[in-house]
Amino acid sequence: MAKELIMTGCRAAAEGAKAAEVEVICSFPIRPYTAIMMELAKMVADGELNAEFIHGEGEHAQLSVVLGAAASGARAYTGSSGVGVTYAMEIYSPMAGGRYPAQMAIADRTLDPPGDFGSEHTDAMCTRDQGWLLGWADSPQEVYDNTLINYRVGEDHRVMLPQMVCQEGYFVSHIPDKVILGDQSQVKKFLPPYRPIGPLSTTKPVSHGPQIRPDQGAPMDAMRAAVFLDVPKVIEEATADFNRIFGRNYDPFVDQYKLADAEIAFFIMGAHANTCRKAVDRLRKQGVKAGMARLRWVRPWPTHQLANALGHVKAIGVVETSTSYGGAMRGGNLIHELRASLYDLDQRPLVTSFMAGLGGETIWPADFDYMAKVLTEMVKEKKTKRYVYWIGM
């Protein structure tokens, strides 16, 4: 029976991993994702989950352990936050290029210096060029759902890529909300067992990763890029199946809220979308035709889907909760790819960005009011005056 409970995003991630019957888990503590591992440790100790729970000596080791486990045919799971995510950077490309479809749960966190436990997308966003699947949830429910969807997509033989399932540190990881857990028959219907390709074995010996010549490097890169041409289709199939089996209603790539007739829109990722939806409702009551597009997948970036969803909007405000110092807009990093997605439209929306929620700050309704005011002025004057506005500064 599907169970409805109140739980944090951390607990939801652990429940997702348990439902997926992960077999090798590698832990290392760092705020705010640690609770995911604490929950899993208890599940293993109580015999609820038949898995090896390995105490990694650091985040770099965590990723290395799950690489070895996935290469040997086990469904593997790990996670981290903040500088832990960047410490493991060396291993991301070997995992993606080696096609080891393990999953990493990230409760995001501002990067040092100095210590800041607050949420920011920057940590996982730093890894976006390494070849992983990457996306954000906006609620504990979506964390649980994305855990299952990502294993399904990542382990599909047309994909075979590792996945980062991200949630806002604190806002999602620590604030409890309603979560409907699937029952095992639903999970089994949706998520088949992991079938490795050419795993390490003593009966069929294989060599994983011999040195290649420089002229073999380009084909290796090209083949890795080619996979991402096939991923969107797999995501669409998986999301449709998930919706059907679990009774949800996810748009595969872009969560659209009152967007169809919007003149101004917020382009946002993660849990601050919850505040944003309320802001959109309030603006609509005031007669402002506002809407919201929430990005669910950073990789693969849904270029055409975004162009189609946002092409009619007159002014878009990208809500950036990550930093890209020295970047083209001198702000965050969502705006670059959004502008690129819209570039070839006949009528290009005006696009600006708002740095908000950095360091773990709340984005207040008043902040969305301010953003709407800026966007409305842009529409009136028919121009983008600035690439970026730093909320409160």
Partner 1 sequence: MQAFNYKFQQLEPLKSFKRVPVPEMYVPGHRTCAGCGPALNYRLVAKAAGKETIFIGPTGCMYVANSSYLCTPYAVSWIHAQITNGGAVASGIEAAFKVAARKGRNTGVFPNIIVMAGDGGSVDIGLQAMSGMMYRNHKVLFICYDNESYANTGIQTSPTTPYGAKTTFTPPGKEIPEGKVLFPKDPPQLVIGGHPAVKYVATTTIAHPLDLMNKVRKALSQPGPTFLHMLATCPKGWLFPEHLTKEMARLAVETGMWTLYEWENGTYKYTNVPKKYKPVNEYMKHQGRFAHLKPEHIAKMQAFVDEKIKNVKQAIAVAAPVPTARQKA
Partner 2 sequence: MAKELPGYGTIDVPKEREVPFGAVTEAPVCTQQLFITSNWRIVRPVKDDEKCTRCLICYMSCPDACWIFKEEEDVMEWVSDFCKGCQICINECPSDALTAVPELDFPDGVVRLDKPF
Binding site for partner 2 (CB under 8 A): 97-100, 160, 197-198, 205-210, 212-213, 215-216, 218-220, 222-223, 225-226, 229, 303-304, 307-308, 311-312, 344-347
Q: Which among 393, 387, 360 is positioned nearest to 121, based on CA atoms?
A: 360
Look up residue 230 and give its amino acid: D
Question: In the complex, what is the shortest distance from the CB of residue 197 to partner 2, in angstroms, rounded to a whole number?
Answer: 6
Q: Alpha carbon 249 to chain centroid distance? A: 18
87 vs 368, beta carbon nearer partner 1 = 87
Question: In the complex, what is the shortest distance from the CB of residue 332 to partner 2, in angstroms, rounded to a whole number?
Answer: 24
Applying CB under 8 A, which residues contact partner 1? 23-24, 26, 50-52, 54-58, 60-61, 64-74, 76, 90-91, 94, 200-203, 205-213, 216
5 vs 83, beta carbon nearer partner 1 = 83
What is the b/e burial string over 294-330, where b = at least 16 CB atoms within 10 angstroms of the residue's CB? Answer: bbbbbbbbbbebbbebbebbbbbbbbbbbbbeeeebe
Which of partner 1, partner 2, none does residue 359 bind to, with CB < 5 to 8 Å depending on kind? none
Asked if residue 140 lies in contact with residue 12, where contact means CB atoms within 8 angstroms, the answer is yes
Rounded Cα distance, 317 and 222, in Å: 34
Question: In the complex, what is the shortest distance from the CB of residue 337 to partner 2, in angstroms, rounded to a whole number?
Answer: 14
Which of partner 1, partner 2, none does residue 365 bind to, with CB < 5 to 8 Å depending on kind? none
Phi, psi of 337 (to 5 degrees): -75, -25
Question: In the complex, what is the shortest distance from the CB of residue 80 to partner 1, in angstroms, rounded to a whole number?
Answer: 14
Which of partner 2, partner 1, none does residue 112 bind to, with CB < 5 to 8 Å depending on kind? none
Which of partner 2, partner 1, none does residue 65 bind to, with CB < 5 to 8 Å depending on kind? partner 1
Q: Which among 8, 246, 236 is positioned nearest to 139, based on CA atoms?
A: 8
84 vs 349, beta carbon nearer partner 2 = 349
Segment holding 171, helix H or strand E: none
25 vs 350, beta carbon nearer partner 1 = 25
Which of partner 1, partner 2, none does residue 304 bind to, with CB < 5 to 8 Å depending on kind? partner 2
56 vs 302, beta carbon nearer partner 2 = 302
Question: In the complex, what is the shortest distance from the CB of residue 204 to partner 2, in angstroms, rounded to a whole number?
Answer: 8
Q: Which among 239, 273, 237, 233 is positioned nearest to 146, based on CA atoms?
A: 239
DSSP helix/strand/coil, 103:
strand
Which of partner 2, partner 1, none does residue 58 bind to, with CB < 5 to 8 Å depending on kind? partner 1
The residue written with tokens 């100095």 in the block is 114
Asked if residue 74 lies in contact with residue 65, where contact means CB atoms within 8 angstroms, the answer is no
Which of partner 2, partner 1, none does residue 244 bind to, with CB < 5 to 8 Å depending on kind? none
DSSP code at position 114: S
Question: In the complex, what is the shortest distance from the CB of residue 78 to partner 2, in angstroms, rounded to a whole number?
Answer: 19
Rounded Cα distance, 20 and 193, in Å: 9
71 vs 126, beta carbon nearer partner 2 = 71
222 vs 393, beta carbon nearer partner 2 = 222
Phi, psi of 299 (to 5 degrees): -135, 120
186 vs 303, beta carbon nearer partner 2 = 303
Which of partner 1, partner 2, none does residue 52 bind to, with CB < 5 to 8 Å depending on kind? partner 1
Which of partner 1, partner 2, none does residue 202 bind to, with CB < 5 to 8 Å depending on kind? partner 1
Distances (CA, A) of 21 to 147, 234, 296: 11, 22, 24
Q: Which among 8, 353, 352, 310 is positioned nearest to 178, based on CA atoms?
A: 8
Partners of 6 in beta bridges: 178
196 cis-preceded (ω within 30 degrees of 0): no
Phi, psi of 54 (to 5 degrees): -105, 130
73 vs 176, beta carbon nearer partner 1 = 73
